[in-house]
Structure 1
Amino acid sequence: MSDRSDEARPIDGSQASPRGLIDGSQASPRRPTPETPASDGDSGSGGSETAPLPTVGETPPTATLEHTAVPDRPVGTPFLTARGLTATGRQGPIFTDVTLTAGLGQLVAICGDGGDGRSSLLLALTGRFPHRTGALEVDGQTRPGHIRRRFTIAQAGPPIRFDPYATVGACIKETTTVSKGTATRANINAWLDRLALTIDTGDTFGFLPRIDQIRFAIACAAAARTPAIAVDDADTGLDTCGSERVFEALRTVADAGQLVLAACTRSDPPADTIIDLRAQEPPAADERRHGRNRKGAHS
């Protein structure tokens, strides 16, 4: 499902898409949360059997949300800063002159239709898509490899997502194994409970309702405990009600302290910052594309 580093590999030769490793740092919660930080020695189970997922309101005693150490960061320092990002392909510009500032605990939405470059921009901001010009800094890092380790990708196109023929239990095992135990079963179960998602480990992932697939992927990404997560196609195939529920889940993750980037089709999602690729006029030399906050001002 998720690509967390360059070292990610598919598990057991299956068709499951790769996920990656995480960085040792962790987002600082925007608001206080009751969870106790987990020790660095936490690891996921390596057995073939998967524990049953908790039902809503029945979180196991060990299924507390785990967090890694909070990095020392000056107060008010943005976690992600992009200045003038531009990418081009064989047919011309993909996205042009994108400027964005975002902090931990915020939800950023990238809006656009198919072909507008929203997926490419999402991946560029996570260090996974090359930009031609501009500057990108994430958590003080500018090298793509270092930036990638700050993000967990919940889903992004066919290459980064769970195998639709895998069971939910196999997807959980993939998450814990490829993250080298950083995303523990207990933490995944706790996030499923927190997002009010009840599914059976024997269910086939591809047969789940679309909204449950997306929220399950979000839960697994949040459980990896990277400072930030990214979700492509956040509302694809959903009606208005389904889209609202997905953004509620994304807001829950942001409220826990992680930066959340989400690519979507809706034009006015409930996000802190919105980059609307459809609103961009044809690129001009003196034009800049900025993220706008919910009041319409540029960031």
Structure 2
Amino acid sequence: MGDATDAVRRTDGAAVTAEALGLRGPRGWVYRGVDLDLEPDTLTVVTGPAGSGRTSLLLTLAGRMRPTEGRAGVAGLRLPRQAAAVRRLAALGPVPGVNDLEGALTVAEHLRERRLLHFPRRAPRRSTEQALGLVGLAVESLPGGLRTQVRELDPVQSLRLSTALALLGRPRLLLVDDADERLSATERAAAWAMLRAVADSGTTVVAGAADAPESADTTVRLESADAHA
């Protein structure tokens, strides 16, 4: 007889929906006509050429950019009207140009800073050990342990640390951009295995990448900006 907790596993991830979602900027449409129906605790990969609006779509779903047309929802909350509430349950993993790690800071300093800046009124709902364990970042394997500077991390270790920082607050939706950027085949496999594990642990994951892995539950392909003209 199986473990009863497996049969009634509680879903923590957020469902994500979008219908004809679009964002128009000063130079025209950034993305347009995006439809989503993502189940909780799944891994979705958004692909598309440069200028297809991949990053902007992720920021929209995080409640950080206001769409121009269409509608979207995260865990039943409507965007953009309830964007503030969405921001409380969604977290950004690594998004280059938005929340880059500081190379001169150590792993410990990044973890401490995240706690001080993002959880000033209450303790984080996930411990440092839990977050690091979930992303598979073995501190003992780092050159200086927790005192290792970020510039000493390899690309996958950096991805793991950025993701762990986002997971400290136990978000229901995690958004990651350029998940496979500048990674070897072996490193890509490790990165996707990590994000797959995060989704399976009870967090909906939406990741931007050049190519989608077989482990993705859903793949969304964005067109180039020229296609929206």
Given candidates 135, 138, 141, the residue that maps to 2:71 is 135
Tell me which of 85, 90, 98 is aligned to 1:146: 85
Match of 1:183 among 96, 111, 124: 124
* C-alpha contact (below 8 Å) 2:11/2:40 kept by paired residues: no
Is the 8 Å Cα contact of residues 30 and 56 (structure 2) preserved in structure 1?
Answer: yes
Q: Which residue of 2 aligns with 1:273?
A: 218
Correspondence for 1:203? 148
Shift of residue 223 of structure 1? 2.7
Mapped pair 1:125 → 2:61:
yes
Q: How does 1:64-103 map to 2 (within 5 A)?
A: 79-103=15-39
What's the counterpart of residue 160 of structure 2?
215
Question: Does the alignment pair 1:249 with 2:194?
Answer: yes
Q: For the residues of structure 2 that align with 1:131 and 1:242, how far apart are their CA atoms?
A: 34
- Opposite residue 166 of structure 1, the aligned amino acid is L
Give the counterpart letter for 1:183 in structure 2.
Answer: P
CA contact (8 A) 2:17 2:38 kept: yes
Q: Deviations over 1:263-296 (max 9, x none)?
A: 1112555311111114899248xxxxxxxxxxxx
Contact 2:53 2:225 in 1 (8 A): no
Measure how far apart 1:191 and its partner are: 3.0
Q: Secondary structure at the match of 2:128?
A: helix
Looking at structure 1, the residues matched to 44 and 18 of structure 2 have their Cα atoms a distance apart, in angstroms, of 13
Decide whether aligned partners of structure 1 residues 179 and 32 sit closer, same or farther in structure 2, where only a CA change above 3 A counts. Answer: farther
Change (3 A) 1:251 1:70: closer
Partner of 1:167: 106
Q: How many residue pairs end up in the alignment? A: 214
Structure 1: which amino acid aligns with 2:57? L
* Aligned mates of 2:224, 2:29 — CA distance in 1: 15
One-letter code aligned to 1:169:
A
Unaligned runs of 5+ in 1: 1-30, 36-68, 285-299
What secondary structure, in the 3-state scheme, does the structure 2 residue paired with 1:214 have? Answer: helix
Cα RMSD for the two superposed structures:
2.7
TM-score normalised by L of structure 1: 0.65
Structure 2 residue ranges without an equivalent (≥5) = 140-144
Provide the secondary structure at the position in 2 that maps to 1:164.
coil
Kindly provide the amino acid, as one letter, of the partner of residue 154 in structure 1.
Answer: G
CA contact (8 A) 2:136 2:194 kept: no
Secondary structure at 1:282 match in 2: helix
Paired residues of 1:108 and 1:260 also in contact (CA < 8 A): yes
Alpha-carbon distance between aligned partners in 1 of 2:214 and 2:60, rounded to the nearest angstrom: 21
Letter aligned with residue 113 of structure 2: E
State the SS of the aligned residue for 1:155.
coil
Does structure 2 conserve the Cα–Cα contact (< 8 Å) formed by 1:222 and 1:253? Answer: no
Inter-CA distance 212–118: structure 2 relative to 1 (3 Å threshold): same
Say whether the 8 Å CA contact 1:227–1:258 is kept in structure 2: yes
Amino acid at match of 1:158: G
SS at match of 1:146: helix
- Contact 2:45–2:216, Cα closer than 8 Å, also in 1: yes
Larger helix share, 1 or 2: 2
Q: CA deviation at 1:183?
A: 3.1
Tell me if structure 1 keeps the 8 A contact 2:63–2:83.
yes
